Amino acid sequence: MKACELPIGVFDSGVGGLTVARAIQTQLPQESVIYFGDRARCPYGDQAPEDVLRYAIEISEFLLAQPVKCIVIACNTATAVALPTLRSMFSVPVIGVIEPGAAAAVATTRNGRIGVIGTSVTIQSHAYRKAIVALDGAMHVVEHACPDFVPLVERGQFDGPAVEQVVRDSLLAFADTGVDTLVLGCTHYPLLQPVIRRVLGPLVQVISSADATANVLMNRLNVEGLTNPHETEITQRYFTTGDGSRMWLALANWFGKPIASDSVVQVQLPLPLRHVVKQAAVQ
């Protein structure tokens, strides 16, 4: 099989990255996708960066063994921690979700005040602040961790009084900050977007990096000559380290995507390559 006919590899800590996979399938309908959700070790946002780096390397090696022509890190935490290392380790294009999301926020804001919410690791890395300021040094960025959001999404809780209270309490940090744009710095968060919009009100624009990432991917495939020329059958495959039923329900219920009950495959990753991780972490 030609390189351009290979599928796109996408991974996340759980089911949240399916929002990115869906955007890719919408914008690039001629492309096959292999999705990997690491639900056994979700959430990544509360774990040590060196562990997240190890997970990202393991999953990337699994995807490349399928094989895939490129890798999309559909996880903000893993992007913040592992993107430079994965790009240095592997020859295929590796695309994260932070730079596309930052660019969309800079293009959207009217007053130059941007809020970012994400997991603890993503916020502590200041990856979005760095990416936004690199694009426009005049931007003012307010960051806040929302660690309670991912567990809600993984449990399938997207709305209702209890969910709205959690969202409302978490977004109090942006009161009186003047932000007119909020970046959802975690791919799980778009599933809570209706509640987030309701809490923030109509004056704040909410940015999900999924569509922006799919657009960056499309451009990169074109530049690299890796766009599928429609000569192969399009397939979508799903893997998880956890309970496959949750991912199947997410595909069936969240995205209205009818799939066979056995289409989500549970896998066990190989033992960690600790010496590789230690060397990569030092660089």
* DSSP code at position 242: S
134 with 261, same domain: the answer is no
82 with 107, same domain: the answer is no
201 with 246, same domain: the answer is no
User: What's the pLDDT score for residue 252?
Assistant: 78
User: What's the pLDDT score for residue 275?
Assistant: 34
110 with 130, same domain: the answer is yes
Structure tokens at 250: 């997410």
Q: 185: part of which helix (H) or strand (E)?
A: strand 181-185
Nearest in space to 39 (alpha carbons), one of 246, 256, 209, 249: 246
Contact 94, 82 (CB under 8 A): no
44 is in an annotated binding site: yes
**End position of a domain, from candidates 180, 208, 236:** 208
Under-50 pLDDT residues of the chain: 271-283
User: What's the pLDDT score for residue 279?
Assistant: 34
User: What's the pLDDT score for residue 213?
Assistant: 95
Domain that holds residue 174: 98-208
81: three-class secondary structure by DSSP: helix
Please identify every residue annotated as catalytic: 75, 186
Contacts of 282 (CB under 8 A, 6+ apart): none
**End position of a domain, from candidates 208, 229, 261:** 208
Segments in 93-142 forming alpha helices (H): 98-108, 120-125, 127-135
86 with 129, same domain: the answer is no
**End position of a domain, from candidates 181, 208, 235:** 208
Contacts of 99 (CB under 8 A, 6+ apart): 131, 216
User: What's the pLDDT score for residue 237?
Assistant: 92
76 is in an annotated binding site: yes
State the pTM of this model. 0.87
Contact 247, 266 (CB under 8 A): no
126 is in an annotated binding site: no
204 with 157, same domain: the answer is yes
User: What's the pLDDT score for residue 111?
Assistant: 98
Alpha-carbon dihedral sign for residues 2, 23, 82, 100: positive
Parallel, antiparallel, or unpaired for β 70-73 and 94-95? parallel
Which amino acid is it at 238? Answer: Y
107 with 65, same domain: the answer is no
Place of tokens 């997970």: 55
Contact 150, 108 (CB under 8 A): no
13 is in an annotated binding site: yes
CATH number for the domain spanning 256: value is: 3.40.50.1860
82 with 110, same domain: the answer is no
**CA atoms within a 13 Å half-sphere pointing along the CA-CB vector of 3:** 11
264 with 200, same domain: the answer is no
User: What's the pLDDT score for residue 13?
Assistant: 92
8 with 70, same domain: the answer is yes
User: What's the pLDDT score for residue 278?
Assistant: 36
86 with 104, same domain: the answer is no
User: What's the pLDDT score for residue 276?
Assistant: 38
User: What's the pLDDT score for residue 283?
Assistant: 29
209 is in an annotated binding site: no
Query: How many domains does the structure of the chain reveal?
Result: 2
123 with 135, same domain: the answer is yes
Contact 11, 73 (CB under 8 A): yes
79 is in an annotated binding site: no
